Amino acid sequence: MAKFVISIADGRFTTELEGENGEEISAEMVTAYSQMKIGWALGEIADRLVGIDNSLNAIADALRE
């Protein structure tokens, strides 16, 4: 039976959808896997945007002084 394998390395989560050769993977499992990957990617984008926002605020503060 196909399964999700989630691991943590270097403080980051990774996931894989594993199945045996020739094993059929349901559309629901593929959809769930895709949604997890999209969710994690959006989380990384949000983290980067927060970092950019913090940098821009620091620059604005420095220019005001």
- Give the tens place of pLDDT for each residue, 8-60: 888 777 888 888 888 888 888 888 888 888 988 999 999 999 999 999 999 99
2 and 19 Cβ atoms separated by less than 8 Å? yes
Tell me, what's the pLDDT at 32? 86
Q: How many domains does the chain have?
A: 1
SS3 for 26? coil
SS3 for 56? helix
Whole-number Å distance between alpha carbons of 53 and 65: 19
More confident call, 63 vs 25: 63
Question: Which residue range is the domain that position 41 belongs to?
Answer: 3-64
